[in-house]
Amino acid sequence: MPNYVRVFRPGGTFFLTLVTERRAPLFTEDYARTLLHDAIARCQSFHPFDIDAMVLLPNHLHLLMTLPRGDADFSVRLRLVKARFTRTFLATGGTEQRRSDSRVRQKARGIWQRRFCEHTIRDEDDLRRHFDYVHYNPVKHKHVTCPHLWPHSSFHRFVAEKRYEKRWCCRCGGTPAPFKMDWDDIAKAAGE
């Protein structure tokens, strides 16, 4: 079994990707999105962290998270979010993906992929590139033609804070995006 080594950077900022089991489109329904929101908020109340940027697509979540000074344990936060969402989702009638014998023996549910992808943000340029990647992701996956059309994204907060123009990377009216996105390294690290 591979040895996964996580970076220990107290107070760091991390780019994290959580994917549903078999990429099931769990987050197409309002109630599932609400349950995930509640799971994140509950986790934050016990294990504080800042959400710097986020996008929720039907089958995965990208999150830029900053931890408090002296704290480097993003893994426990993701575990708690996944566990709470799973419990409430199944309790409210949500269905899980078929589980392998191994997952049944380990009492692992068929809601989330076992692992998650993470990247430690190195500097301001790295952070900016990841902000752009998060906010462009619904376009990349062809859910919408422009970032401003996707409702489940921190993009709208960034526009309100004047960190992006509303028409950033917009293709409304058939015009091409204003610059070429070169995020292959981020997409690979995110498992996409």
Torsion, Cα 41 45 49 54, to 10 degrees, reads 0
- Dist CA 113 CA 18 (whole Å): 8
Q: Which one has a higher pLDDT value, 100 or 53? A: 53
Say if residue 112 is exposed, middle or buried (CB neighbours under 10 Å; 0-12, 13-18, 19+): buried
Please write down the long-range contacts of 1-7, taking CB distance under 8 Å and 24 or more positions apart.
Answer: 4/115, 6/75, 6/118, 7/72, 7/118, 7/120
Torsion, Cα 4 127 20 33, to 10 degrees, reads 140
Q: Is the pLDDT of residue 7 over 70?
A: no
Contact 147, 168 (CB under 8 A): yes
- Dist CA 50 CA 59 (whole Å): 23
pLDDT at 55: 98
The alpha-helical segments, DSSP class H, found in the chain are: 30-46, 74-91, 101-105, 124-140, 155-160, 184-189
Q: Is the pLDDT of residue 109 over 90?
A: no
Report phi then psi at 13, rounded to 5: -110, 135
Q: Which one has a higher pLDDT value, 37 or 5? A: 37
Distances, alpha carbon 156 to alpha carbons 5, 55, 86, 145, 152, in Å: 34, 11, 28, 15, 9
Mode of pairing for the β-strands spanning 13-19 and 50-56: unpaired
Which pLDDT tens digit goes with each residue over 152-172? 999 999 999 999 999 898 888
pLDDT at 99: 83
* Portion of the chain with pLDDT greater than 70, in percent: 90
Which range has the worst mean pLDDT, 28-42, 115-129, 163-177? 163-177
- Dist CA 18 CA 65 (whole Å): 13
pLDDT at 1: 46
pLDDT band at 132 (very low <50, low <70, confident <90, very high): very high
The alpha-helical segments, DSSP class H, found in 12-114 are: 30-46, 74-91, 101-105
Which pLDDT tens digit goes with each residue over 60-79? 999 999 999 999 899 999 99
DSSP bridge pairs for 14? 65, 120
pLDDT at 174: 64
Which pLDDT tens digit goes with each residue over 79-97? 999 999 999 999 999 999 8
